[in-house]
Amino acid sequence: METTTVIKEKTWLTRTKRPIVIAGPCSAENEDQVLETAKRLKATDRVDIYRAGIWKPRTRPNSFEGVGAIGLPWLKRVKEEVGLPITIEVAKASHVELALEFGIDILWIGARTTVNPFAVQEIADALRGVDIPVLVKNPINPDVALWIGGIERLEKAGIKEVGGIHRGFSNHGEKFYRNRPQWHIALEFRNQRPDLPLINDPSHICGRRDILQEVGQKAMDLDFDGLMIESHIDPDKAWSDAKQQITPEVLGVMIKEMVLREDYEDVKIIQSKLDYFRQEINHIDDELINLLGNRMNIAREIGTYKKDNNMTIFQPKRWNDIMDKCRVLAEKNQLSEEFIAKFLNAIHVESINQQEEVFRDKS
């Protein structure tokens, strides 16, 4: 088993203890909400950096799109009166200019912006000659090259402190997570750039409160450097992402309860290649089971159709065609004929059982 040890340079983003915690509301809504959230987060003694969305990239129009530049003086007050450094999302050059004017400490690029090289380049160009850390969220699609490409654009523009934020990947039909974590993608990011801090954003992965702790803990177990978690003084009334936000006090307890590996000091032990492969296998197993579930749903629908049309369940010609087609594909994928025959038979038996159930159903 091969293990790589990489000495990470201490940067603005990693110089505090691990995990570095970035917390604050999804959106800045008004001055009181921004300040009260900040004070209560500070009081937990677990938060290092304050986040708030000023310009919100919303999936559909007519949602709340952020208060805009009027919120920047509120964040300036947080920095001066509460003493927390501030990070906000920027999506274009005009955002960068305003953020710099109001003394924002760290910028982040959102998932919907990372997908667009023109937009990232515009931000990088606006930052030429500026010394400010920038975190880049993964693009909404699981594309490590595009993610790292965004970081490289900033590095080429002279930005010295960059890092990644893993916020999961959107997927049609996903119900458990809001954005599937696909941990192997984050581990691949780290394999390629072990020199960079990597933060996990459980809020946008989960989209709900009840599994935030376990996702954050998993990130800690995989040696992420920090967490970005959304927090609101009255979560259910939040103007955006209400279901995933938690109060500052709940967030404080969550961080306190995180179990951290003790050997973490200045030297970062990068997860072995084996860990990476295991995550990939876990991911593929999940996919296989989801796909089998989808296949059986369709089988049941076919069952209903056959029942309504007085057809038999088993249609040998159709089954032989499937077997022939799959045998060819299996060979191309270096799978033995014996294995694929057993595998397909098991699927077939289950499919027939499910259809029989539909036939038995009197309703």
170 vs 271, which CB is nearer to ligand PEP? 170
Q: Are 223 and 269 in contact (CB under 8 A)?
A: yes
40 near ligand PEP, rule: CB under 6 A: no
In three-state secondary structure terms, 263 is coil
By CB under 6 A, which span of 61-69, 108-116, 258-266, 320-328 interacts with ligand PEP? Answer: 108-116
Q: Rule CB under 6 A: choose which of 110, 133, 150, 181 binds ligand PEP.
A: 110
268 near ligand PEP, rule: CB under 6 A: no
Which 8-state DSSP code applies to residue 268? E
Residue 137 interacts, among ligand PEP, Mn ion, none and using kind-specific CB cut-offs from 5 to 8 Å, with: ligand PEP
How would DSSP label each residue in 61-113?
TTS----GGGGHHHHHHIIIII---EEEE--SHHHHHHHHHTT-SEEEE-HHH
Binding mask of the shown chain, residues 148 to 177, with x at each position contacting ligand PEP by CB under 6 A? -------------------x----------
Residue 167 interacts, among ligand PEP, Mn ion, none and using kind-specific CB cut-offs from 5 to 8 Å, with: ligand PEP
90 near ligand PEP, rule: CB under 6 A: no
111 vs 127, which CB is nearer to ligand PEP? 111
Q: Are 199 and 223 in contact (CB under 8 A)?
A: no
End-to-end CA distance of the chain: 57
Q: Rule CB under 6 A: choose which of 41, 78, 107, 111 binds ligand PEP.
A: 111
* Closest residue by Cα to residue 308 from 231, 233, 251, 363: 363
166 vs 268, which CB is nearer to ligand PEP? 166
By CB under 6 A, which span of 104-112, 190-198, 277-285, 345-353 interacts with ligand PEP? Answer: 104-112
By CB under 6 A, which span of 109-117, 119-127, 276-284, 288-296 interacts with ligand PEP? Answer: 109-117
Contact positions with ligand PEP (CB under 6 A) in 128-147: 137
* Closest residue by Cα to residue 133 from 111, 100, 84: 100
89 near Mn ion, rule: CB under 5 A: no
12 vs 50, which CB is nearer to Mn ion? 50
Q: Rule CB under 5 A: choose which of 241, 245, 299, 354 binds Mn ion.
A: 241
| Residue 5: Cβ-neighbour burial (10 angstroms; 0-12, 13-18, 19+) | exposed
165 near Mn ion, rule: CB under 5 A: no
How would DSSP label each residue in 153-181?
HHHHTT---EEEEE--B--TT--S-SSB-
Distances (CA, A) of 220 to 20, 91, 213, 256, 320: 11, 29, 11, 13, 49
Alpha-carbon gap, residue 79 to 99, rounded angstroms: 13
81 vs 234, which CB is nearer to ligand PEP? 234
Tell me the closest approach of the beta carbon of residue 232 to Mn ion, in angstroms: 10
Give the DSSP H or E segment for 51. strand 49-51
Residues that bind ligand PEP (CB under 6 A): 26, 53, 57, 110-112, 137, 167, 204
